[in-house]
Amino acid sequence: MKKHIVIVGGGFAGINLIKSLKNDSRFRITLVDKNNYHFFPPLIYQVATSFIESSNISYPFRKMFSNYKNVHFHMGSLERIDPAAHVLETDTGNITYDYLVLALGTETNFFGMENVQRCALPMKTIEEALYLRNYMLLTLEEAARNKDVKKAERLQNIVIAGGGPTGVELAGMIAEMGQYIAQKEYPEIKMSLSNLYLIDALPTLLSPMSKMAQEDAYETLTKLGVKILLNVSVKDYVDCKVILSDGRTIETETLIWTSGVIGREVKGLPEESLGRGRRILTDAYNKVQGTEDIYALGDIALQLTDKEYPKGHPQLAQVAIQQGKNLAVNLIRMEENKELKPFSYHNKGSMAIISKFRAVVDLPKFSFKGFIAWLTWLFIHIIPLVTFGSKIRLALDWMRLFVTNNPSIRLILRPKKNTSKD
């Protein structure tokens, strides 16, 4: 009988596992995801800033799997696992499994700050990116109508919490759009009253990257007019005021939160399976500790067996991709009664784009910056897209947008149900 592999989460780990086992007659695969599409998170900030369409970085699962004979899609959200019965419970039905793979990633961590969670703007999903896009465009329109100088500061200030790659890339994009677009298209707004803040609790931006990358990011963003506040964190957000750990406050109606993540909750696992940040502890083969036939991959997995990464692997796309491929090899080896292959992460480096024609790249043996780094960033971020058509469309869009400095998709779209009757 075919072994039934149920995969929860269609991100990098889940998709690469599926691709490695597609059309293998020994396995029947079911992907479970609350969305009906795969998307590319590293470019989600470009959706939020109206630079590219969400369709450029997303692709429907069913179309993706249309030529895979052994793969099925189940749209639903994980509710809990019954390990003893080998049953996955979702809000759209229960599924039995032989092997269960948890690859559902992380969610935004607000560190227990209720006001921030209620009012700040996260950017982890396509829906959140589109909401942020609409929100910023609506705020610009309100600022254009505003006649109150005191209110102008609140409307025109933007605060980004989190100085990692996402925060840095987002700050650079917003700063450039302010220079190229806002001044030209919103003449009613007094740009002298506008401020863009980037805040991080650590002493540097891009803390996991090289000193060269950190210094270049700081220098470039400062030249773009970004006000960078380091060694300080957001403690609350009350009455449109961001309250900082050093007592300062910033008036704003736009607090964008890129400051941290936490593993998505998985009910039904034993307590000893959970590690810090609600990540799931695994052995060297990505099997969840304290369970049988359950595996965890990608950002949600915390594997402490790799000698090069004793505190766990970084939550990067390459880790998820490599773990998905490695688990596919081991599932095949299990069927063939062969020795399993422990996972070992091959670090291919990290990078961040800071502004137009400028990026930083850290490779295992050297680092570089500037225009060549920018071209490298573009190339590397096109490769993982699912289809050749997606790669071509995004490349052409980027070429046009970087030449014109004027994305044309700044549409405020607020779909709502039509309740009128004919």
Bridge partners of 402, per DSSP, are: none
Q: How many angstroms separate the CA atoms of 49 and 366, rounded?
A: 31
For residues 255-280, average pLDDT: 95
Q: Which residue has the tokens 């809990």?
A: 80
171 within a domain of the structure (yes/no)? yes
* Amino acid 407: pLDDT: 67
Structure tokens at 232: 């300080």
Q: Are residues 18 and 154 in the same domain?
A: no
Q: How many angstroms separate the CA atoms of 355 and 221, rounded?
A: 8
More confident residue, 1 or 187: 187
Q: Are residues 82 and 119 in the same domain?
A: no
Closest CA to 234 of 320, 345, 332, 109: 109
Q: Are residues 12 and 101 in the same domain?
A: yes
389 within a domain of the structure (yes/no)? no
Q: In degrees to the nearest 10, what's the CA dihedral of 309, 317, 166, 360?
A: 80
* Amino acid 112: pLDDT: 93
Q: Is 367 helix (H, G, I), strand (E, B) or coil?
A: strand
148 within a domain of the structure (yes/no)? yes
* Amino acid 182: pLDDT: 81
**pLDDT value at 409 more than 90:** no
Q: What is the CATH number of the domain that holds 224?
A: 3.50.50.100
pTM of the predicted model as reported, rounded to 2 decimal places: 0.92
131 within a domain of the structure (yes/no)? yes
Q: Are residues 248 and 142 in the same domain?
A: yes
Q: Which of 41-55, 94-108, 172-186, 360-374 is predicted least confidently?
A: 172-186
Q: Is 234 helix (H, G, I), strand (E, B) or coil?
A: strand
Q: Are residues 225 and 314 in the same domain?
A: no
CA-based torsion, 118, 124, 127, 132: positive or negative: positive
242 within a domain of the structure (yes/no)? yes
Q: Which of 171-180, 357-366, 409-418 is predicted least confidently?
A: 409-418
Distance from CA of residue 243 to its chain's centroid?
Answer: 26
395 within a domain of the structure (yes/no)? no
- The total of structural domains in the chain comes to 2
From 259, 286, 318, the end of a domain falls on 259
- DSSP assignments along 189-205, one per residue: S-GGG-EEEEE-SSSSS
Express each pLDDT in 263-273 by its tens digit: 999 999 999 99
* Amino acid 52: pLDDT: 86
Q: How many angstroms separate the CA atoms of 413 and 399, rounded?
A: 25
User: What range defines the domain where residue 81 resides?
Assistant: 3-107+261-335
Q: Are residues 318 and 206 in the same domain?
A: no
Q: Are residues 118 and 229 in the same domain?
A: yes
The residues near 137 (Cβ < 8 Å, ≥ 6 apart) are 50, 410, 412
More confident residue, 177 or 341: 341
Q: Are residues 102 and 123 in the same domain?
A: no
Distance from CA of residue 350 to its chain's centroid?
Answer: 15
316 within a domain of the structure (yes/no)? yes
Q: Are residues 13 and 103 in the same domain?
A: yes
Q: Are residues 181 and 203 in the same domain?
A: yes
Q: Are residues 53 and 80 in the same domain?
A: yes
3-state secondary structure string across 262-299: EECCCCCCCHHHECHHHCEEECCCCEECCCCCEEECHH
Q: Are residues 119 and 250 in the same domain?
A: yes
* Amino acid 382: pLDDT: 85
The distance between the two most distant Cα atoms of the chain, rounded to a whole number of Å, is 74
More confident residue, 366 or 323: 323
